[in-house]
Amino acid sequence: MYAASRPYRPAWWLPDPHSATLWGRLGRREPALTMRLERWDTPDGDFLEVARLESPEGAAAPRLLLFHGLEGGMHSHYARAMFREAGQRGWAADLLLFRTCGTETNRLPRSYHSGETTDPLWVVEQISRQFPDAPLGLMGVSLGGNVLCKLLGEYGHVLPEQVVGAVAMSVPFDLARASRHIGRGFGVIYEKFFLKSLIPKALAKIDRHPELAALRRVTGARTLWEFDDAFTAPLHGFRDAADYYARASSLAYLTRIQIPTLLLNAIDDPFLPSEVLDEVRQAVRGNAAVEVEFPARGGHVGFTAGRRPWNPWYYGEWRAAEFLAARMQRFLRTVVV
């Protein structure tokens, strides 16, 4: 068990889960970074976009691959923060933009979802081939964290040897309970925010692929559950939203993780009932590869510390980088030897 060298003390000036969550989007300021956007043709005739930050250390420099959350991308505060953290450490970094989250709609009648792991696996393999001497750390945030945990449970035994560790932050381990929970009380604001972009993107895909006309009922979705029931599930071969959630939730895959992994969630995360984290602890109790860190406060992808609002410190990204850095150094020492 690794003990963080700098303890996390939640910011007193973000006293509740919602202020801790919203600060990242409304109050946090991250400097713009010079990233290069690449388009990669996929084996199924589509494409993916990858935002890249290179390192002056060259091809053998440690690399970070990030999986973003629902409707996330280069604009996400945590993505910019992790790229900054990587750059300060001399690492290179890549951000996989899930299908429909890039600069334009992808070609095929498919999108991304919480359990889709084939694209992430393919990207991991491509990066490992491009940089065979570089240790690779994986990180997933929110939806991307669920994708990462499922990926590790499904394919951990065949991942390239360059993958040395993983961090999953603010993961909705049980998608059904998370979907029901997020729309309660003030949480309806988050739900409406996501639907504001999800529904137009779904309709644009339907317009582009007339064979999807039956999915146009998504127009009436008022909750994430209704959206997934009308669009995500039938588009990707699930019976309904309940079937999709049951098969895509990462909770069932945690016992099979073999690569050193840190799970970082706040107990007060407004996107997930806290009792799910008790089940996560129980699931990984006998898995030495998985470390859990569930502080009482932090919100969703928050983890802000610091005594003053004008001088905050962001524990989440720092902790993730520290965890991965230790594993990367071990890999590099092995290569040198």
CA pair distance 101, 120, nearest whole angstrom: 14
Q: List, in order, residues 6 or more apart from 9 with CB less than 8 Å away.
A: 305
68 is catalytic: no
Can you give the C-alpha Rg of the chain in angstroms? 19
Q: 251 is written with which tokens?
A: 């909770």
DSSP state of 4: P
The single-letter code of the amino acid at 308 is: R
Query: Shortest CA distance to 80 belongs to which of 71, 93, 90?
Result: 93
C-alpha triplet 19, 23, 25: angle, nearest 5°: 130
142 is catalytic: yes
Q: Are strands 47-53 and 92-97 parallel, antiparallel or unpaired?
A: antiparallel
Q: How many CB atoms lie within 10 A of CB 212?
A: 18
CA pair distance 172, 194, nearest whole angstrom: 15
Residue found under tokens 């993107």 = 201
CA pair distance 82, 332, nearest whole angstrom: 21
Q: Which of 76, 142, 170, 250 is catalytic?
A: 142
Residues known to be catalytic: 142, 269, 300
